[in-house]
Amino acid sequence: MKISIPVSIVIAVTGMAGFSECKKSSGGIVNPPVDTTVVITPPNDPALASTIGFFGNDWTPKTFTAPAYTNADKPTSTANATVTVDMSNVRTKISKYLFGNNSNLWMGQIVDQPSLMSYIKDLSPNIIRAPAGSVSDVYFFNSQPNQKPADVPDSLYDTNGNKIGAFYWSGKNTEGWTFALDNYYQLLAQTNSTGIITVNYGYARYGTSADPVAAAAHLAADWVRYDNGRTKFWEIGNESNGVWESSYKIDVTKNQDGQPEIVTGELYGNHFKVFVDSMKAAALSIGKTIYIGAQLLDSEPQGWQTTTDKTWNQGVLTQAGTTADFFIVHNYFTAWHTNAGTDEIIATGSSIPTNGMAYLKSQMTKYGVPVKPVAMTEWNIESEGSKQKVSNISGLHAVVAIAELMKNEFGQASRWDLANGWSDGNDHGLFNSGDEPGAVKWNPRPAFYYLYYLQKYFGDKMVSATVSGDNSIISYASSYTSGQSGIVIINKGAAAKTVAVTMKNFRPGTNFYWHTLAGGGTSEFSGAVTVNNIGPSGATGGPINYTSIKANGATIQGGITVSAPPRSAIFIAVENKK
């Protein structure tokens, strides 16, 4: 169907009102003339990608409601860049499970912290992983504190291959410093989230019984029964290929089933099938459906990596590729502990999901496995030295990363993590756990605000957005089932820019609305963020009244243009004609 629209409602957004010919100012881009008609092509409806799969089963349409707003002036300067949004070019439906986060076992019994619970509910992660990262492989969900199972050793191996005293975590420990399993379920209930659980694979390796694999699989099946359908998504082990994991190296003198000292992908794949048999049987016995994921690596191993890494995907895919319901990867995007700058950090937000998905698909194809859903159950940045992890730039990176995970059709993702430890600013925690100097406990970090507004403004389908004129500008766009468009514009540069938006295949309404988030102060890695020029009451974080900060609003007539401060993101909603 083709519809002609009169000029009065055309979005001629790259030029100012009244311009009828191309004009150019020094350093700016050409403003095109206003067209008198717009031809609308209906949106395509692409099939849900295999890499999203059942993670898309809970997709629901979104309806945009115009926010309370303050009339704001549009910039009069010539645009440095133009974002072109094509509403007919739908890339994908957006999985609600891409906005997830991670809990951990050292964050405390947080369900009795009303301010934090309110923040997480507002954040709406939709899915929260448990029980933690590496400690998942020394975690016994049903054990009492200080009561380790009889068939585990007193010592395990550390990253350097040296024996150290073993500490086993308990799911029934209600002391204030840790996080009991039942409180994890309370966290999910209080924040309207679902769970994704990592079961203890390490026990299958270091267990000292006659059949440690069966014992570990039985423990996992018991957890499925205890969970009783509250959790659909399950993982077997955490980074089990890694030298830092308790599953990597075992004392073969204590092992009774002939396992090798060092784990391999083939061994893990064989063990994975035993876990699946036990866990799926448990789910069937209680009338529940669960999905179980196996671990893969999302990039070609380098020469310095272990033999285990170099053969991991081959072993897992050939042994368990047809058994796994989905595949799991972890990625901390930037190079390990380098003092990276903004450009390098933001660039990884795009390159890691793009290259990772291409590699995973090629590996599945290479080893004869149908393409299956992919989940990135841990992600963040590893840059440090300038407090990058708690900075405004971490927030910008989070927006880019999630948008690129959408674009590359990942099914699920969980950022690491809700709360961790200050460590002089090398803290992955989204919230201050109480050890950040001068900050109120549970104070949200800048990334919280970026993730909050991303969900507030982004619709239920991703559509095409292209940028011309300035390579410091990045943009992503979406459509709502109710017809509006949600757009994100990111200025990763150190200079302010004016950005125009051109809408294609869209019936524009009256107004557009936006919130602008930018770093506080002049530091590249500011620990503060402002929302529509409103900042935090303290030195770090953002405004606590974020839910009541009015949007800026302006008429679409004459064009959509916004000012993009240095290192900022502008979240925009454009009304459609009813």
Asked which of 322, 340, 373 is the last residue of a domain, the reply is: 322
Model confidence band, residue 39 (pLDDT cutoffs 50, 70, 90): confident
Distance CA 212, CA 57 (A): 35
Does residue 500 contact residue 75 with C-beta atoms inside 8 Å? no
Cβ contacts of 134 within 8 Å, gap of 6 or more: 238, 239, 242, 244, 245, 246
Tell whether 304 is covered by a domain: yes
472 residue type, one letter? S
Same domain, 170 and 28: no
Model confidence band, residue 466 (pLDDT cutoffs 50, 70, 90): very high
CATH of the domain at 529: 2.60.40.1180
Q: Is pLDDT above 60 for 25? A: no
The 10s digit of each residue's pLDDT in 49-63 is 999 999 999 999 999
Tokens describing residue 251: 């004392």
Does residue 140 contact residue 167 with C-beta atoms inside 8 Å? no
Asked which of 277, 299, 322 is the last residue of a domain, the reply is: 322
The confidence score (pLDDT) of residue 408 equals 98
Tell whether 252 is covered by a domain: yes
Asked which of 322, 342, 361 is the last residue of a domain, the reply is: 322
Same domain, 297 and 174: yes
- Residue 401's alpha-carbon distances to 194, 347, 371, in angstroms, are 22, 9, 22
Tell whether 370 is covered by a domain: no
Tell whether 540 is covered by a domain: yes
Model confidence band, residue 37 (pLDDT cutoffs 50, 70, 90): low
φ, ψ of residue 242 in degrees (nearest 5): -80, 140
Of the listed ranges 144-148, 450-454, 486-490, the least confidently predicted one is 144-148
Q: What is the mean pLDDT of residues 6-16?
A: 30
Model confidence band, residue 38 (pLDDT cutoffs 50, 70, 90): low
Tell whether 260 is covered by a domain: yes
Cα three-residue angle 106-111-114, rounded to 5 degrees: 120
What is the distance of C-alpha 47 from the center of its chain?
22
Q: Is pLDDT above 50 for 2? A: no
Does residue 419 contact residue 113 with C-beta atoms inside 8 Å? no
Q: Is pLDDT above 80 for 323? A: yes
The 10s digit of each residue's pLDDT in 515-556 is 999 999 889 999 999 999 999 999 999 999 999 999 999 999
The confidence score (pLDDT) of residue 55 equals 98
Task: Kindly give the interhelix angle for 307-320 and 342-366, rounded to the nearest 10 degrees.
Answer: 50
Does residue 566 contact residue 468 with C-beta atoms inside 8 Å? no
Tokens describing residue 416: 């690491």
260 residue type, one letter? P
The 10s digit of each residue's pLDDT in 283-306 is 999 999 999 999 999 999 999 999
Closest CA to 290 of 220, 231, 228: 231
Cα three-residue angle 241-182-229, rounded to 5 degrees: 75
Does residue 243 contact residue 304 with C-beta atoms inside 8 Å? no
Q: Is pLDDT above 70 for 28? A: no
Cβ contacts of 559 within 8 Å, gap of 6 or more: 11, 12, 13, 14, 15, 16, 17, 74, 500
Which DSSP string corresponds to 66-103?
PPPEEE-PPP-SPPSEEEEEEEEEEEEEPPGGGGEEE-
Give the residue with greater pLDDT, 38 vs 263.
263
The confidence score (pLDDT) of residue 195 equals 98
The confidence score (pLDDT) of residue 20 equals 26
Cα three-residue angle 14-533-70, rounded to 5 degrees: 65
132 residue type, one letter? A
Does residue 15 contact residue 32 with C-beta atoms inside 8 Å? yes
Q: What is the mean pLDDT of residues 67-79?
A: 97
Same domain, 38 and 90: yes
Q: What is the mean pLDDT of residues 62-87?
A: 97
Same domain, 286 and 168: yes
Cβ contacts of 182 within 8 Å, gap of 6 or more: none
**Domain limits at 19?**
7-95+458-576
* 40: exposed, middle or buried (Cβ count in 10 Å: 0-12, 13-18, 19+): middle
Q: Is pLDDT above 50 for 444? A: yes
Same domain, 78 and 223: no
Tell whether 505 is covered by a domain: yes
The confidence score (pLDDT) of residue 41 equals 95
Same domain, 38 and 163: no
What H or E segment, with its residue span, contains residue 477? strand 473-479
Same domain, 157 and 59: no
Q: Is pLDDT above 90 for 412? A: yes
The confidence score (pLDDT) of residue 8 equals 26
Same domain, 142 and 89: no
Q: Is pLDDT above 50 for 511? A: yes
Distance CA 215, CA 500 (A): 61
Same domain, 203 and 310: yes
Same domain, 148 and 280: yes
The 10s digit of each residue's pLDDT in 224-272 is 999 999 999 999 999 999 999 999 999 999 999 999 999 999 999 999 9
Of the listed ranges 30-44, 356-370, 376-390, the least confidently predicted one is 30-44
Tell whether 374 is covered by a domain: no
The confidence score (pLDDT) of residue 345 equals 98
Q: Is pLDDT above 80 for 152? A: yes
Of all residues in the chain, what percent carry a pLDDT higher than 90?
A: 93
Same domain, 156 and 56: no
Tell whether 425 is covered by a domain: no
Same domain, 237 and 306: yes
Query: Structural domain tally of the chain?
Result: 2
